[in-house]
Structure 1
């Protein structure tokens, strides 16, 4: 095709047609969602099929988040079993739960047979007990056994995360033997795999051969000559630890072994990406003391998840305010104290929040542990002193220009240096302590930081002011 052919080619689809379902940001357009809603309201199944035909399963899952539960109930019934199978694992947990309630058991059983065992287990896990039994009973014995085996492992473990479909070969096979075997398996091969795991007679992995390397090698070469060391994942390892291993060693896939070292499955990078995103999202929300509300969360469920932390904050704020009450007479005699005091506490709180965010991230990524904890603590103390000194100079200068009182400027500077130093120390020590106690440092650290910086900020400022100014 020449340049002139391209220039004279027919224009692309009109923006108002069904083909334009995504915007430039890869999000579904409001116009497309409205068309789906209109078709669902009219019960027009053929129209829904036309609209959803070229949509990626991830986009269909995203679409479900924009629809009401009534519209979802209509749309999901018009999805083909193979499409439904790919959509179900992509749905948010709360939305998937609603969708599962509306689907017939036979349709679910048919869809689950299209999935790898890890994705199928994740879907079955969301079902009510009665529905789970009925769906599993409608599935072939082999598929049912794979799902039940996955559900037998602890939640958030490698066993729950892995897929049982895996490609393994003995050491004495050649490249030609392996390729011939792969071709003979056909539909029985795992849907997605990157490595051939070389196993000994006890079915224990002794190495791995990347598919790309296998295809580049001569047929007569033995797998034992091509295999490379592998990172084994134990079946009971926590998924967060598995994600760390993948991230650290830049893995695409890894074999999962049982307590006897035998190969029982594999974990691939597509599953790990979801875990990393999920863990990061949880840590971010926990730092703010909230849970993931989701697009369908009700008002009362959000209130129940957030109110306890606000009550704790109220209690700690009351303790901090008691410091102000203790210096009530001094504040009455010098009203300017009430003007500057919140600034000292606020700057300390921000400094503590900065240190806390860095500390929680370092703990999550295993960059902070007992081996370097002392050095990191000393580093944050130095940072706190330098920040406090710089801000103390600026704040003292501003207070002097404003109030023309050198002692007040000195008071502000000293209080600010103390609070900034304490904020940096607490910002690193609190998450370290909670982590050592086996608690999630992202959950409650911010409450301690806010309380400490408010308390120390008020106490240091008002205490120094009562000594120097009154």
Structure 2
């Protein structure tokens, strides 16, 4: 009775802190972050431990991302090893590197032993060489050997992504054998698994049984009678290919096999969600010609990541400007040309971005191939033509009301149609060509498309004006 009474205030206080920490959108509140900062400034470790204890590890990761490096150094030592272990995989890459530098090798080694092998591998590969050697030296032989094996696989491969903990059973086992075995394994079982892999005497997977199916079956039923076909993942397959296979076949988990077809691990859907999010973020940033500088990046890092593509864009803009220079005399004769030029280029740029975004997405989703490439190109040309006609009618009307020049309205209408068709061609062909050449279409395509729409827009508008008006 007394024990319950003494525990209740702590539970109530923790709940109150949790309610204070998270808003309705599950984001950390500014009031809570300020409380942590105040405790860190005072060096009040016990208060920090109390504040952090109210959070889920994912929220602890968010908290560390909001804090400065100095405040993180105050908070991290007060994280219990199990909380630290679950928090590290949730951190942004830049924040995690900073946090890892502040953790003693032995403390980090203890935390890594709390994680599945895939999460532990992801953290160890981020360490500097000296720190990695020290951490591995502080680990038991079995865990160290497992991590060294995983690090031997190529970066961004299934071998790095997989977890080595897996539940496998021979074909001749019954449901009862499998259940009794799992109950006897205890902590040696994977923390999260969905399937039991049935293997032959050579440790090659021949089928899988969902855990839910196993529990519904009678104990005397053989596993070979329950097993379902599997989709195997080669250990050296790139992680983007793995994500595509999971998405295409709606997989929850899949066995990973080595060159001899032997079962060496498994990949689960939670890992694939992270990969898909990373790829989507990379493509989104690449379309803008930037990289993820991280929350703690300084001005120099951000400038270095962005200025190269600005320089490339400057070069393409200068090339487009030479087209304007060719028609300098015509512009001097009719000032309206200078007023309307940016309109044609801007509309073409937006249309090109639309076609480009659709094409890059289609390539990422494997929706484009030699079989349907020409059909997609024809569709985009038709869309560009119809949109061009619609915008041309609207813009021609505005031009006539503004300048009262019927032929100028005709010129800008024709130029818009030409530029939107060119934008559709560039936005579709550029990423397809770059992908065929083995380049990332999301990175280089925007600059190329912008150059095409500017150049064609100026050339079409000023060239038609020179032929028709002057």
Which TM class, normalised by the smaller chain length? over 0.9
Name 2:118's counterpart in structure 1: 118
Name 2:8's counterpart in structure 1: none
Task: For residue 193 of structure 1, give the secondary structure of its aligned residue in structure 2.
Answer: coil
User: What is the distance in 2 between the residues matched to 1:165 and 1:385?
Assistant: 56
Q: What pairs with 1:299-338 in structure 2 (closer than 5 Å)?
A: 299-338=299-338
CA RMSD of aligned residues (A): 1.3
Name 1:235's counterpart in structure 2: 235
Task: For residue 153 of structure 2, give the secondary structure of its aligned residue in structure 1.
Answer: coil
User: What is the distance in 2 between the residues matched to 1:283 and 1:258?
Assistant: 30
User: What is the distance in 2 between the residues matched to 1:190 and 1:15?
Assistant: 31
Contact 1:49–1:78 at 8 Å: present in 2 too? yes
Contact 1:198–1:207 at 8 Å: present in 2 too? yes
Name 1:358's counterpart in structure 2: 358
Name 2:98's counterpart in structure 1: 98
Which is worse superposed, 396-405 or 203-212?
A: 396-405
Task: For residue 108 of structure 1, give the secondary structure of its aligned residue in structure 2.
Answer: helix
1:439-467 Cα deviation digits (max 9, x unpaired): 00000100001000000000000000000
Name 1:196's counterpart in structure 2: 196
The Cα of 1:293 is off from its aligned counterpart by 1.6
Contact 1:13–1:19 at 8 Å: present in 2 too? no
Name 1:78's counterpart in structure 2: 78
Name 1:27's counterpart in structure 2: 27
The Cα of 1:308 is off from its aligned counterpart by 0.6
1:62-93 Cα deviation digits (max 9, x unpaired): 00011111111111101111111101111111
1:142-193 Cα deviation digits (max 9, x unpaired): 1001111111111110000000000000111100000000001011101110
Matched, 1:215 2:223: no
Q: What 5-or-longer segments of structure 1 have no aligned partner?
A: 1-11
Change (3 A) 1:255 1:30: same
Contact 2:14–2:54 at 8 Å: present in 1 too? no
Superposition TM-score, scaled by structure 2 size: 0.96
User: What is the distance in 2 between the residues matched to 1:463 and 1:15?
Assistant: 71
Change (3 A) 1:19 1:317: same
Q: How many residues align?
A: 459
Change (3 A) 1:58 1:18: closer
The Cα of 1:15 is off from its aligned counterpart by 10
Matched, 1:429 2:429: yes
Change (3 A) 1:196 1:17: closer
Name 2:376's counterpart in structure 1: 376
The Cα of 1:13 is off from its aligned counterpart by 8.1
1:96-141 Cα deviation digits (max 9, x unpaired): 1111111111101100111111111111111111111111011011
Following superposition, which runs of at least 4 residues in structure 1 exceed 6 angstroms of deviation?
A: 12-16
Matched, 1:407 2:415: no
Contact 1:348–1:454 at 8 Å: present in 2 too? yes
User: What is the distance in 1 between the residues matched to 2:395 and 2:321?
Assistant: 23
Change (3 A) 1:446 1:403: same
Which is worse superposed, 420-429 or 393-402?
A: 393-402
